[in-house]
A and B are shown apart, each in its own frame.
Chain A
Amino acid sequence: AQSVTQLGSHVSVSEGALVLLRCNYSSSVPPYLFWYVQYPNQGLQLLLKYTSAATLVKGINGFEAEFKKSETSFHLTKPSAHMSDAAEYFCAVSDQDTGGFKTIFGAGTRLFVKA
């Protein structure tokens, strides 16, 4: 079974600073990887998706992620944090087993943005 590990349950940055949220995956086959964001009292919203078409994936709200096979990583970055980026971020992988496909989520990283 495939899995993802998010390093750091909490990350705090200053407004305008670089955002870096870490995600490592475990997969024996080329994975489909996702980043989702969850704002308070809401469901999860898709930020971006890796499908092997390009290693650098651009998403919404200025976020991007780079797939690095050698490091089994798919870290999420944003050059300049905004207060509105404060939320919880989830890395996910699409997994297939005998029952079919399902999306497996990491534990999440809560991003705090300081003024």
Chain B
Amino acid sequence: KAGVTQTPRYLIKTRGQQVTLSCSPISGHRSVSWYQQTPGQGLQFLFEYFSETQRNKGNFPGRFSGRQFSNSRSEMNVSTLELGDSALYLCASSSGQGSGNTIYFGEGSWLTVV
């Protein structure tokens, strides 16, 4: 079974630009979560989607948005990039039903904002 796939793996953007990151979950998984990882803040929860609906959202500004498609693939978008948005963005998938779901991570997308 293929794991969680994230694209692109590495990208460099200029301050003020926008970026879109993509995530394909494990086959059969309907939940996709996004996390931001930085050395100073650790792993911060961005949002979670289940069956195309955002079920949960972390404490990030509105510049951070996401969506999920009918095939469970998900994208996240960051607009008006700031230097502080430089981070590893991790996508994770799970079945999404019931408590205690195990989430499985992709390799991440490294974003550098210059």
Contact for A100 among B35, B50, B90, B104, CB less than 8 A? B50
Say whether, besides A102-B45, A102-B48, A103-B33, A97 and B56 are in contact (CB < 8 Å): yes
Flag A57-101 by CB within 8 Å of B: 1 or 0 each: 000000000000000000000000000000000100010110111
Chain B, 68-111, CB within 8 A of any chain A CB = 90, 92, 96, 99-108
- B63: CB under 8 A from chain A? no
Main secondary structure of the interface of A (DSSP, over half): strand
A51 pairs with B107, CB closer than 8 A = no
- B42: CB under 8 A from chain A? yes
Say whether, besides A100-B48, A108-B42, A34 and B102 are in contact (CB < 8 Å): yes
Contact for A101 among B57, B90, B99, CB less than 8 A? B99
Taking A94-B99, A99-B57, A105-B35 as given, write out 17 further A-B residue pairs in contact, using a Cβ cutoff of 8 Å, ordered by the A residue number. Answer: A34-B102, A43-B108, A44-B90, A44-B92, A45-B105, A46-B104, A49-B100, A90-B43, A100-B50, A101-B48, A102-B33, A103-B45, A103-B92, A104-B45, A106-B42, A107-B42, A108-B42
Interfacial residues, chain B to chain A (CB-CB below 8 A):
4, 6, 33, 35, 42-43, 45, 48, 50, 55-57, 90, 92, 96, 99-108
Interfacial residues, chain A to chain B (CB-CB below 8 A):
32, 34, 36, 42-46, 49, 51, 90, 94, 96-97, 99-108
